[in-house]
Structure 1
Amino acid sequence: MKKISILTCIFAVTAVFGQRVSDYKYISIPQTFKDFEKESYGLDGVLIKTLKSKGYIAIQEGKDQWPAEIDKSSCSFATGNINNKSSFLRNKVEVEFKDCNGKVLFSSKGDSSLKEYKEGYQDALNRSLVSLPVSNPIANLQVTKTESPKEQQVVKKAEEASSAPVSENKSGKYTNGKVNLQKIQVDNNQFILADGGSSVPFAVFKNSSKKDVFRVKLSDGSYTIGYFENGNIVIDMPQTNGEFAKEVFSAK
Structure 2
Amino acid sequence: MKKTILLFVLLMSGIGFAQSINDYKYVVVPEKFEWLKEDNQYNLNSLTKMIFEKYGWLVYHPTQKMPDELALDRCKALYANVKNDSGLLSTKLVIELKNCDGKVVFTSAEGTSKEKAYQKAYYQALREASQSVAQLDYKYSGKNDRPVKAAASVPAHQQAATPETVNNTNQLFAQPIANGYQLVDSTPKVVLKIYKTSQQDSYTAVSETKNGVVFKKGNDWVFEYYQNDKLVSEKLNIKF
TM-score interval (norm. to shorter): 0.3 to 0.5
TM-score normalized by the length of structure 1: 0.45
Structure possessing the higher radius of gyration over alpha carbons: 1
